[in-house]
Amino acid sequence: MSIFSLTLRRDLLLVIREPAQGMAVLAFFVMAASLFPIGVGPESALLRRIAPGIIWVAALLAVLLGLPRLFEADFLDGTLEQMVVGPVSLGLLVLGKIVAHWLSTGVPIVLLSPLLAIQFSLDRDSLLVMVGSLLPGTLLLSLIGAIGSALTLGLRNSGVLVTVLVLPLYVPVLVFGAGALEADLAGMDAAAHLYLLVALLALALFFAPWVTAAALRIALE
């Protein structure tokens, strides 16, 4: 686990030293979600009805925006090759990088989401459900996206390829994440959707780092 914590600390320090990419992702999330209330108008009932899909799609695209750079810097300077051939567990190294990506992208998205909830006229209970779904959901998006990022590493137009590979896998996350908020707005219990999100997250935490590590070895061969 020391390998995991060292990798996590290293990647977070790199994000702090070069914050431009993280700020760009957050700016995209805020602008993409804020344009819809401006375009639709101030009707509260309509805004509440479209809020789950808009907020979740904006979060999904924001996470997707940062995926091509997840391993790119380490690949270009040779660090990634040393990680692969080194004696330490590549799966733990990958998990550290994924968690760092989530802390620098997914967690800020979750923290900013209450500001967007005000634009969509969501009440406090709906806000809690939205945050409760985005918290595990954004980590799940990072875990799944890391696989696509590793598979397209070093290829031309990798950003487009990542999108093509990952978007179909994001559909269940989008369905259950937005479904939790939709259920709450409809007066139903959102717990089932949240439980399914957490179950998917548990599976992804177990499998995704090792699948990503295998994809990185293939990309470097």
Give the three-state DSSP class for 70: coil
How far is Cα 179 from Cα 183, in angstroms, rounded to an integer? Answer: 6
User: What confidence score (pLDDT) does residue 122 get?
Assistant: 85
Spell out the alpha helix ranges (H) of 41-123. 44-66, 72-76, 79-85, 90-101, 107-119
Structure tokens at 77: 């300077």
Q: DSSP secondary-structure letter at 78?
A: T
Cα-Cα-Cα-Cα torsion 137, 139, 144, 146, nearest 10 degrees, comes to 150
* Residue 33, Cβ density class (10 Å: 0-12 exposed, 13-18 middle, ≥19 buried): buried
Report the C-alpha gap between 44 and 216 in whole angstroms: 47
Tell me how far apart the alpha carbons of residues 12 and 129 are, in angstroms, rounded to a whole number: 28
| Per-residue pLDDT, 135 | 94
pLDDT in tens, the chain (221 residues): 588 888 888 888 888 888 777 788 888 898 888 888 888 777 878 888 888 889 999 999 999 888 877 888 778 777 788 887 777 788 888 998 999 999 989 999 999 888 888 888 888 888 899 999 999 999 999 999 999 888 888 777 767 788 888 889 999 999 999 999 899 888 888 899 999 999 999 999 999 999 999 988 888 77
Task: State the pLDDT at residue 165.
Answer: 86
Report the pLDDT value the prediction gives residue 1, as an integer from 0 to 100: 57
- Using CB atoms within 10 Å of the CB of residue 197, give its burial: 0 to 12 exposed, 13 to 18 middle, 19+ buried: buried
DSSP structure string for 134-164: HHHHHHHHHHHHHHHHHHTTT-TTHHHHHHH
CA distance 86 to 91: 12
What's the rounded Cα separation, in Å, for the pair 175 and 179? 6
